[in-house]
Structure 1
Amino acid sequence: MRFFKWVLAAIAAIGLVLALGGLLLPATTHVERSVVIDRSPEQVFATLNSFERFSAWSPWAEYDPQAKYTFEGPASGVGARMRWSGNRSVGSGSQEITASEPHRRVVVALDFDGSQAQAAYLLEPEGNGTRLTWAFDTQHGMNPFKRWLGLLFDRMIGADYEKGLDKLKSLLEGTQA
């Protein structure tokens, strides 16, 4: 009986340390990746300011080729929305353009099965092309579990962002196979 109480006390102590430790972690997560695309900011912006071609460069499209996409609102700019529903790899959710500054920036509100985040596409002229930065930001609030999970976001989505940027570069430069 004493051993059982000791084990319960140890489990409770570990749980308390993890919960309190989680509250000391950052309440936000930021992930970003960049690529230089040999196209003008106008050309890059035109693709990002609409969801029409999203599945052509999305790093997640290949995870579920059978995913269903629906589009709402205007074809481009603020209010354009795409909803998706797919397998466990892509889940379901939506993204909506909430800010659009021609040739400079597109901001997208993301909803992944009820979890909200924000993505931004930042465009800067560089040489004869455009430096595109794809950023992801999310708030964890006071949830210690989400704060622990936030430590993994760079590893979880960073590689997908790199893959998506490479696919977008190939698509816009006309080198996609």
Structure 2
Amino acid sequence: MKFLKNLFIVIVVLAVVLVVVGFFLPKTSHVERSIVIEASQDTVFQEVNSFENYNNWSPWFKLDPDAEYTFSGPDSGVGATMAWDSEKAQVGVGSQEIVESTYPNFVKAKLLFGEDPNPGYISYTIEELGPRQSKLTWAFDADFGNNIVGRYFGMFMDGMLGPKYEEGLQALKEDIES
């Protein structure tokens, strides 16, 4: 009986420590990757300002090509929306909607997953390096607020998303340059 009592105390103390530490973790998470593409700033902007060709280079589409996709709103720019529904956990259910589009160098989209009402935001920043060369930076930002589990999750965001962003950027580069 004494063992169970001590085990219970250890579990309670551990839970309290995890919660307290969680409040000291960063509320936000930022991930970004960049690539240089041999194409004009306009060409790169047109590609990321629409979901029309998104699945040609999306690393998540490769995880489940059978996912159902629906598109709504305008073909490009603010209001363009793509939603998906996949039975595979790595893809899940969600949507993205372009919420900001500043020609020729910036696109921002709101990203929702499943039932989570807290959005993440992705952004594409296009920097012209020359007449036919552009640097594209793909970023993800999340604000976890007081969500302790989210803050712990945020510590691993770069390791989870970074390689996928690198894969997607490489595929986009190949798609645009071909």
CA contact (8 A) 1:111 1:117 kept: yes
Q: Which residue in the other structure is 1:109 paired with?
A: 110
What percentage of aligned pairs have identical amino acids? 44
CA contact (8 A) 1:20 1:144 kept: no
- Cα displacement (A) at 1:144: 1.2
1:120 to 97, 118, 123: 123
1:169 maps to amino acid: K
Q: Which residue in the other structure is 1:46 paired with?
A: 46
In the alignment of these two chains, the number of paired residues is 174
Cα separation, 1, equivalents of 2:148 and 2:91: 25
Cα separation, 1, equivalents of 2:13 and 2:114: 32
Cα separation, 2, equivalents of 1:145 and 1:100: 32
Q: Which residue in the other structure is 1:132 paired with?
A: 136
Cα separation, 2, equivalents of 1:27 and 1:164: 26
Unaligned runs of 5+ residues in structure 2 are: none
Unaligned runs of 5+ residues in structure 1 are: none
1:160 maps to amino acid: K
Superposition RMSD in Å: 0.8
1:41 maps to amino acid: Q
Cα separation, 2, equivalents of 1:42 and 1:114: 35
Q: Which runs of 4+ in 1 moved over 4 A?
A: none
Could you list the per-position Cα deviations for residues 41-70 of structure 1 after superposition, in whole angstroms to 9, with x for gaps in the alignment? 100001111100000000111100101111
Please state if 1:145 is matched with 2:149. yes
For 1:42, what is the secondary structure of its paired residue?
A: helix
The two structures have a TM-score, normalised by structure 2, of 0.96
- Cα displacement (A) at 1:152: 0.4
- Cα displacement (A) at 1:40: 0.5
1:157 maps to amino acid: L
- Cα displacement (A) at 1:129: 0.6
- Cα displacement (A) at 1:89: 2.0
Q: Which residue in the other structure is 2:93 paired with?
A: 92
- Cα displacement (A) at 1:172: 0.2
Q: Which residue in the other structure is 1:78 paired with?
A: 78
